Amino acid sequence: LSYGFLIGLHTSTYRLKYSDQFAKSNLDTLSLDSVYAVVPSWTPGFSLGFIVNYRLADFFDFRITPKFAFYEHNLEYQYINAPPKKQLVETVMVELPILIKYKSERRGNVRMYVVGGVKPSIEASGRRLVDNTTTKGIDIARSNFNLEAGLGFDFYYPLFKFSPELRFSRGIANMLGNTTNAFGQPLRNITTNTVSIY
């Protein structure tokens, strides 16, 4: 059993699925203030946490990495004949990645590895309803669930091990809360995509 800490930089975006009503609408029949597109963008963030690593066998480890992650997500609602409206969702998430690590043979002081697992998370604090022009914005759920996969290298030093890692997270839980307000109606599903360097 060994312990460590991690510092991560990430970029994240929402992945959207439009509602059936929106997808079937005809632009020619929409009013001038109707939404015709919702555009997500990639935004940076960072995370801080700990590593708890248990050696299962020669080439397999079980790893838990509880951490705090700081996110910003941007959505731009584009209208037929009106200026676009931006939705900024800022959250601090408590995340608990549960991973299996498969390691290669050690070559000198270096070895390569791959990791995979799941990442449940819950909101610790944040503003889920943020909009620059209205009093109520898009409603985002307080919890998330991701599948994770990544690869990295272990570099062995006399007193510690340094392990740079690239990891991709794909959300499988629907993050969309209220689907009845103006910002939720065009959408059926919101999930997250995140690319991280630890």
The string of pLDDT tens digits covering residues 101-114 is: 999 999 999 999 99
Q: How confident is the model at residue 132 (pLDDT cuts 50, 70, 90)?
A: very low
CB-side neighbour CA atoms (13 Å) of 54: 5
Does residue 157 sit in helix, strand or coil? coil
Q: How confident is the model at residue 30 (pLDDT cuts 50, 70, 90)?
A: low
pLDDT exceeds cutoff 50 at 1: yes
Contacts of 77 (CB under 8 A, 6+ apart): 35, 37, 38, 84, 85, 86, 87, 183, 186
pTM for this predicted structure:
0.85
Instruction: State residue 131's pLDDT score.
Output: 45
State the DSSP H helix or E strand holding residue 77, giving kind and residue range, or none if neither: strand 67-79
Distance between CA atoms of 172 and 53, rounded to whole angstroms? 25
Q: Which residue, among 24, 10, 18, has the nearest Cα to 39 in the 3D structure?
A: 18
Residues 30 and 21 sit within 8 Å (Cβ to Cβ): no
